[in-house]
Chains A and B, each alone.
Chain A
Amino acid sequence: MARSSKVAASQQRAGLGFVSPSVLVLLALVVYPLFYGFYISMFKTNLRNMWNFVGLKYFVQALSDSDFIHTIGVTLLFAVLVVAGNLLLGTALALLLNTNIRFRVVLRAILILPWLFPDVVVAILFKWIYDPLYGLLNFALTSVHLIDQPIVWFGDSTLAFSAVVLSCIWKGYPLVMILVLAGLQSIPQDRYEAAQLDGAGLANQFRYVTFPGLVPVLAVSVILDFVWWFKHFTIVWLMTAGGPIDATKVVSIDIYRIAFTNFDFGRAAALAVIVFFICLAFSIVYRRLVRDTEV
């Protein structure tokens, strides 16, 4: 008994020792901002000389505002579509790249390119490609006579939404691709050999060896990718600023406007807190579904 408690104690010490640098950073740079955000969400404030306590007023207001609910809906749809696109494209390409084909390095370099560009550049570039007068896309479509008149991509709600989702998938899939590629490398070769000995073809190898091996990587990727794209701001803001009207208005645009155009920081913080809880709820539900047992 004494020995096992000594082991437990040394485990405790070692474990805490290893995580302590990170914990310190997190306390200062994550805990503080989170609590700061929670705190100011209960005030009408400009953060310098006006602090009027309003309690939960902004929360009640937001949750009973149909515009806000609509915005959350738009953001959810946006995040789901982009993450799905990233997953499908990223995983498929990682699988393809992991085979013994020629020019593998060149192909990997090309396929990772979109991720290397800053959001700013991706947004502006695509906005210009979609431009009705000077844009490449309309030019290409009219040249092959698929359409007669240039399409006003950002004038129609559905088209604008699709254009924005497509641009974000363009930017977002390489991260998933890299993660899956690295994950594929850590699946031990002998499992494949065992499966082949049992007579499994490529499809079954994927189903029984590859996919289960990828599950830990994919699970966390999905949560984090969803959370990132749910909170996403820059590309949508620069392409459409939420328009036309509010067809592409994701919730971060609302928060940014309220904070930095209306200077109503308390209200913006309240919306940010709501977003936080939505992301939290999603990850709880998702973890239950995937049953990652280690934690």
Chain B
Amino acid sequence: MIPKSSPRRPRNRLVLYVLLGVACVFVLVPVLWMIVTALKPETDLFSTPPRLWPTAPTLDAFRRVFTDYPFADYFRNSIIDVVAATGISLVFSSLSAYGVSRFKFRGRGSFLTFLLISQMFPSVMLVIPYFKIIQVLGLYNTYAALIVTYVSFTMPFCSWMMYGYFKSIPRELDEAAAIDGASPLRTFLSVVLPLSLPGIVATAIYAFITGWNEYLFALILTSSEDMKTVPVGIGQLIGQYKIQWNDLMAASIYAVVPLMVLFVFLQRYLISSLTAGAVKS
């Protein structure tokens, strides 16, 4: 990593903070507007000019999200679907990425290429074949439907990313383990996997967020209120005739909280473990 020493000159430091500050403003202004909107009573929503702060800030919208709509159900479903899908996807992707990065076998190149190609078909057209498969398997309107779907969505990219990270872990470590009598699977589990933690974390974050925010397939593959996920619930707040802005913003803020918690918890694992000085390259 870039040397962790602080930039020598105070001027460089200032520039750094200013740049980061500007970026934060770019990010936070829309988010703060979301929060302000969620706190507004109905009458404030369409004032001109727009009010920067509600006349009477209220937490009603936040309350309504759970009382007027079954968002508790939606959250439960999203958590089940996405945690399972992320877990399965990580397992499959790390296994295949390891296989591809360590072994030369026929079909290796095709497999890697195919991972990329699988991403190239517009998802709008995938809805119907997916629906047919789910339906033939009898999985319509079940947890399994979305778990399977999200695994297939995230696995190719996760495999490619893990492949990149595994490649950068020196082979000598594998060889050392082999000399010690470990099988390939063993080597994978106890040597390579722990060292590639940053890569795993990045792909886990990606897989989780992708599944959490997915809308179209969740809409098509579920039908009952007790199976719908959070994005579908949010989509229903956009009515044909009117948009319930404050409830919508409140629900969106709720939807982001688990992701933020997950990210804050995992982001410290993005620190490299290579400084253990295992091998001189």
Contact = CB atoms under 8 A, between A and B. Distances in A.
Do they bind each other? yes
Interface of A: 8, 11-19, 21-23, 25-26, 28-30, 32-34, 36-37, 47, 89, 92-93, 95-101, 105, 107-121, 124-126, 128-129, 133-136, 139, 142, 170, 175, 178-179, 181-192, 196, 205, 210, 216-217, 220, 223-224, 227-228, 231, 233-234, 251-252, 255-256, 259, 265, 268-269, 272, 275-276, 279-280, 283, 294-295
A29 B148 CA distance: 9
A175 to B, nearest CB: 7
Contacts of A280: 117, 120
B56 interface: no
B120 A279 contact: yes
Contact of B108 (A15, A26, A95, A224): A15
Nearest to A234: B215
A17 B209 CA distance: 29
Contact of A178 (B26, B31, B206): B206
B151 interface: yes
A231 B113 CA distance: 19
A231 B122 contact: yes
A179 B124 CA distance: 26
In this complex, which of A98, A111, A118, A133 has the most chain B Cβ atoms within 10 angstroms of its Cβ? A118
B176 interface: no
In this complex, which of A99, A175, A252 has the most chain B Cβ atoms within 10 angstroms of its Cβ? A99
15 contacts: A14-B105, A17-B99, A29-B148, A30-B114, A34-B121, A100-B6, A110-B24, A117-B213, A118-B230, A125-B34, A178-B206, A182-B165, A220-B161, A234-B216, A259-B125
B216 to A, nearest CB: 8
Listed from nearest, the 4 A-B pairs whose CB atoms lie closest are A18-B99, A15-B103, A15-B105, A29-B152
Given A12-B106, A255-B122, A121 B252 contact: yes
Contact of B184 (A14, A125, A256): A14
Contact of B234 (A47, A99, A118): A118
Contact of B270 (A139, A185, A189): A185
Interface residues of B, number: 116
Contacts of B102: 14-15
Interface in B21-54: 23-24, 26-31, 33-34, 46-50
B129 interface: yes
B179 interface: no
A181 B125 CA distance: 34
Contact of A182 (B157, B201, B230): B201
